[in-house]
Amino acid sequence: MSNPSEGKEKDIPLAATISKPGSATEQKTGEWRSKRPQRDDSLCDKCGICWIFCPDAAIYINEDGYYEVDYDHCKGCGICARECPMGAIKMVDEGE
Amino acid sequence: MAKRTGLEVSLAVSEAVKMARAEVIAAYPITPQTHIVEELSQMVADGELDAEFILVESEHSAMSACCGSSAVGARSFTATASQGLALMHEVLYIASGLRLPMVMVVANRALSAPLSIWGDHSDVMAERDSGWLQFFAETGQDAFDLTIQAFKISEDHRVLLPSIVNLDGFTLTHVIEPILLPEQGEVDAFLPSYEPPSRLDPQKPTTVGPVGFPEIYTEVKKQQNDALLGSYEVILEVWDEFEKSFGRGYKPIEHYKTEDAEILIAIAGSMAGTARIAVDGMREEGKKVGLIRPRLWRPFPFEEFRNSVAGAKALAVVDRSLSFGGQGGPMCSEMRSALFPLDEKPVVTSYIAGLGGRDITIENFRTIVSDTERVLEEGYGDEYKLIGVKE
């Protein structure tokens, strides 16, 4: 069981132990982002530097070979935008 | 058949841990606990005890190692005192919060400063609210038996919480007492090997100790508290079974000459021995004095305690620890609170004695009783009193 956001006492396992491996991905932790990375496909050369540098493993490769941002988990730190050698990633305000 | 053997109490505790077939021992030496783990490391080195003895760099690591070993399902033991216990502090809450059974013997010693290697209860009182079961031994036999019992109680699936067995530094740890040592087979029958409900296993990965968001933290703590409160019944069951197996009965609170007593003294640990002699002396003079000795401190035995003091005019609580700036003695605060809701209750007086290895003498107990008589006549004066201060 993952760490439940609405857990009644009787449903919580002993000491809140998580018995399902990898269940952290079920938690949406990208909610507090104020800026989000936005990729320009015309500039991206699919080098994968953003994927290497992302401290939150929030970048994955899509079907077309582009490095896509997982917005459920991206915190908007901006490291990918800073490290991108092609200048293909820009940080834009959330809500824009 | 059990045989009576003259043993230093520390070594008797080591013998109890060996007979309990502890599988992992992680400890760091600190006076006055050192003899316990020194002997255990010798037993492991000599092949007498099939256990992993983990040499650690600090008590913080000792407690952390025991958390790990308990999480994989190993019967785990450590021992410490004073600064060592204080250094374990944050990990103690993790052990109980993660519901990891283990046994720790604390050879009670004063906390620095000033630096003191001698006995009092300030070390364990600082861990009062850490969620561990806590017992106080009066004698070597008490310490031996409680160590074995504590494994069984802690590992019970209705409990799954760690236990502290307190024994007074030097006045208990370093004295030689006659100890009834049972046969290994008898202990094995009483204490089967530990089978955890779940364990850390690389083949079946789990996360032990995840973040507890505000939505669940309260519920997890309620589960933990329910388990600690519920352990009371398990403790009584285990003591009942122990008596049937070994012939020695144990109670949450021991009574001495309490039946018609008007003034009761309450004290935990080895100084109760001196208190008994003081009670005998005062009884000879016609004073109706008795003694209660709490063996079980956590969970606090409320019902048993209220029954123990019912009918007495006064209860004089002697603490070997001082709650600075508060009501004086932590045990007295607890007992006074426990009595507050009752319509009829004894007057409760609080005394602090035996700090940093100072003996509590028969004369000290007489002073405590005569001061309590004065309070009965004149009413309260001081919130609490330090006994034996040289002025």
pLDDT tens per residue, range B160-173: 999 999 999 999 99
Q: Write out the residue range of the structural domain in which residue A53 sits.
A: 31-93
Those residues whose C-beta lies under 8 Å from the C-beta of residue B146, and which sit 6 or more positions away, are B135, B137, B165, B250, B295
Q: Which chain B residues touch A18 with a CB distance below 8 Å?
A: 206-207, 210
Contact B79, B27 (CB under 8 A): yes
Contact across the interface for A15 and B99, Cβ inside 8 Å: yes
Q: Which chain A residues touch B93 with a CB distance below 8 Å?
A: none
Each residue's pLDDT tens digit, A26-80: 888 888 899 999 999 999 999 999 999 999 999 999 999 999 999 999 999 999 9
What percent of chain B is modeled with pLDDT above 70?
100
Segment B320-345 shows an average pLDDT of 95
Q: Residue B289 domain-assigned?
A: yes
Q: Per DSSP, what are the bridge partners of residue B176? A: B8
Each residue's pLDDT tens digit, B374-386: 999 999 878 899 9
Q: Do residues B215 and B262 share a domain?
A: no
Q: Which of B155, B220, B225 to mutate to test the interface with A (most CBs of A within 10 A)?
A: B220
Look up tokens 């400890």; give the residue.
B27
Which of A3, A14, A21 is opposite residue B99, by nearest beta carbon? A14
Residue B349: CATH number of its domain: 3.40.50.920
Q: Do residues B280 and B373 share a domain?
A: yes
Q: Do residues B218 and B294 share a domain?
A: no
Grouping H, G, I as helix, E, B as strand and the rest as coil, residue B265 is strand
Each residue's pLDDT tens digit, B49-102: 999 999 999 999 999 999 999 999 999 999 999 999 999 999 999 999 999 999
Q: Residue B391 domain-assigned?
A: no
Contact across the interface for B223 and A21, Cβ inside 8 Å: no
Each residue's pLDDT tens digit, B191-207: 999 999 999 999 999 99
Judged by a CB distance cut-off of 8 A, whether residue B55 touches chain A is no
Q: Do residues A77 and A56 share a domain?
A: yes
Nearest-CA neighbor of B342 among B373, B372, B303?
B303
Q: Do residues A17 and A43 share a domain?
A: no
Q: Residue B91 domain-assigned?
A: yes
Q: Write out the residue range of the structural domain in which residue B112 sits.
A: 3-246
Which of B205, B210, B219 is opposite residue A7, by nearest beta carbon? B219
Q: What does the alpha-carbon distance between residue B100 and residue A51 come to, in Å, rounded to a whole number?
A: 39
Q: Do residues A46 and A86 share a domain?
A: yes
Q: Residue B294 domain-assigned?
A: yes
Residue B153 has pLDDT above 80, yes or no: yes
Residue A4 has pLDDT above 60, yes or no: no
Q: Which chain B residues touch A8 with a CB distance below 8 Å?
A: 219
**Residue B384 half-sphere exposure, CB side, CA atoms within 13 Å?**
23
> How many domains is chain B built from?
2
The residue from B246, B281, B307 where one domain ends is B246
Least Cα separation, residue B96 to chain A (angstroms): 9
Mean pLDDT is lowest, of A11-25, A74-88, B215-229, for A11-25
Q: Per DSSP, what are the bridge partners of residue B212? A: none
> How many domains is chain A built from?
2
Q: Do residues A11 and A56 share a domain?
A: no
* pLDDT at residue A96, as a whole number: 62
* pLDDT at residue B89, as a whole number: 98
* pLDDT at residue B273, as a whole number: 97
Contact across the interface for A5 and B197, Cβ inside 8 Å: no
The residue from B246, B272, B292 where one domain ends is B246
Q: Do residues B325 and B356 share a domain?
A: yes
Q: Do residues A5 and A47 share a domain?
A: no
* pLDDT at residue B227, as a whole number: 98
Residue B241: CATH number of its domain: 3.40.50.970
- Residue ranges in B119-254 assigned as alpha helix (H): 122-125, 140-155, 184-190, 214-246
Least Cα separation, residue B108 to chain A (angstroms): 29
Q: Which chain A residues touch B206 with a CB distance below 8 Å?
A: 17-19, 21
Q: Do residues B228 and B315 share a domain?
A: no
* pLDDT at residue A20, as a whole number: 87
Q: Do residues A36 and A21 share a domain?
A: no
